[in-house]
Amino acid sequence: MGFSLGTAITYCTVLIVFASTGHVAGCYKAIVSFGDSVTDTGNLIHNSKLLSNGFVKSSVPPYGETFFRYPTGRYSDGRLIIDFIAQSMGLPFVQPYFGGGSNGDRSFVEGVNFAVAGATAMDISFFMERGIINSATNVSLGNELDWFKQMLSSFCQTPSRCKEYLQSSVVLMGEIGGNDYNYAFLQGHPKEEVLSFVPKVITVIASTINELIKYGVQTLIVPGNLPIGCSASYLSYFMTSNASEYDPRTGCINWLNDFAENHNELLQEELDRLRELHPHATIIYADYYNAAMRLYRSPSNYGFNNTLEACCGGGGPYNSNAHVYCGSQLSTVCDSPSSYINWDGSHLTEAAYRWIADGLLKGPFTSPQINGACILSRPKPKILDS
């Protein structure tokens, strides 16, 4: 596909960091993304072949109402973490691999998103063998990696151009892996069984990172799992009268958050190993868990007055009902999504995603810092006279 190589990979001549906004201009030239519904900007809604049941919940209002004013396939009322990261880097919203840009333009010079809502890290066969159903899609991280390779073969034209393009891009690795646990937990599989999935999920993520670095990727942001014990869907499913199972400060379920932290600890250990194997690469851990937990612990500091109840849902103590999805005739939606952390039971509001992205871009919820890594991974800027 024709494009200006100079436009795609010319290194920055001036690097500007606006500390007050977290905006970085002239650094990375593109964002390449993988993941699930936390990151999907429209793949599931644009390709019916990815669907398990022929219907995308995020294809109907009130999804997208806050920012886009119409459903875009994003599982929120507005922008996602990836959208705020793109804006902070002076890049356009990352277009989905399926559906392309305006007028079907599939030129991915400034980024491409392979994330699919409902996707898992493990292959679909892993879950089928265990009687676990993915009602959203049969897409796994392996499928997304295959699309990435296919895209490069038609987009870059030569290996050297691919490598240069990837060296000037930042790869966002998810979040991925959360659905591997969600489907099992919410279909009644015991904690001990689901806990055995964690090392396998981490291995798949690590293997994918290795592949991407082999192709020439130099900078990756690898998110951890969110605090699932604060999710309205989990709170509804595992509701109990046993007060000891809840964090008295937040109302979140302790053992589920412990599970998420276990995943995150093992992931960070694996990232340390990968950094030793690939000292030339910058591998950034994005601490989604603690960036989100501060919202639950001190909601008023961030403008929230409802932490656990879903803004859009089907009733019950947490306004989350597995049989009444957000946007259906029986669902209700709150008047002020920006005062809620939870959007639809499983996903967060734009306001929450904004604060999580802010914590990643400005600190302290990445290791190493995104902006610092950006500066260090680029050639020393040449400052031109104005």
| Coil, helix or strand at residue 105 | coil
Section 363-384 average pLDDT: 57
What's the pLDDT band for 374 if we cut at 50, 70, 90?
Answer: low
Give the C-alpha separation, 205 to 347, whole Å: 22
What's the pLDDT band for 377 if we cut at 50, 70, 90?
Answer: very low
pLDDT of 371 = 58
| Coil, helix or strand at residue 129 | coil
Under 8 Å between Cβ of 137 and 50: yes
Section 363-367 average pLDDT: 93
Catalytic one among 36, 287, 344, 358? Answer: 344
Highest CATH level, class, for 34-376: alpha beta
Give the C-alpha separation, 216 to 91, whole Å: 21
Share of the chain above pLDDT 70, in %: 87
Amino acid at 98: F
Amino acid at 280: H
* Per-residue pLDDT tens over the stretch 57-71: 999 999 999 999 999
| Coil, helix or strand at residue 125 | helix
Query: Would you say residue 133 has pLDDT above 90?
Result: yes
Query: Would you say residue 101 has pLDDT above 60?
Result: no
Give the residue among 191, 195, 291 at the shortest CA–CA distance from 234: 191
Query: Would you say residue 13 has pLDDT above 70?
Result: no
**Token pair of 185, please?**
């937990």
Catalytic one among 37, 140, 233, 320? Answer: 37
Give the C-alpha separation, 277 to 128, whole Å: 34
Lowest mean pLDDT of 50-54, 316-320, 347-351, name the range.
50-54
Q: From edge to edge, which strands make up the β-sheet containing 111-113?
A: 111-113, 30-34, 169-173, 219-223, 282-286, 366-367
Active site residue 37: yes
> In 24-45, which positions are buried (b, 16+ CB within 10 angstroms) versus exposed (e)?
bebbbbbbbbbbbbbbbbbbbb
- Decide the pairing of beta strands 282-286 and 366-367: antiparallel
Query: What φ, ψ does residue 94 adopt, rounded to 5°?
Result: -75, 120
* Per-residue pLDDT tens over the stretch 211-237: 999 999 999 999 999 999 999 999 999
**Token pair of 176, please?**
């991925």
Query: CB within 8 A of 211, min separation 6: which ones?
Result: 145
What's the pLDDT band for 348 if we cut at 50, 70, 90?
Answer: very high
Query: Would you say residue 372 has pLDDT above 50?
Result: no
Under 8 Å between Cβ of 4 and 85: no
Active site residue 344: yes
Lowest mean pLDDT of 10-19, 51-60, 156-165, 267-276, name the range.
10-19
Average pLDDT, the chain: 88
pLDDT of 240 = 97
pLDDT of 301 = 98
Under 8 Å between Cβ of 118 and 144: no
Catalytic one among 58, 168, 236, 347? Answer: 347
Active site residue 83: no
What's the pLDDT band for 254 if we cut at 50, 70, 90?
Answer: very high
DSSP code of residue 12: P
Q: Where are the domains positioned within the chain?
A: 34-376
Amino acid at 263: H
* Per-residue pLDDT tens over the stretch 294-308: 999 999 999 999 999
Question: Residue 152 CA to chain centroid, in angstroms?
Answer: 22
Global pTM?
0.89
DSSP code of residue 301: G
Query: What φ, ψ does residue 370 adopt, rounded to 5°?
Result: -60, -50
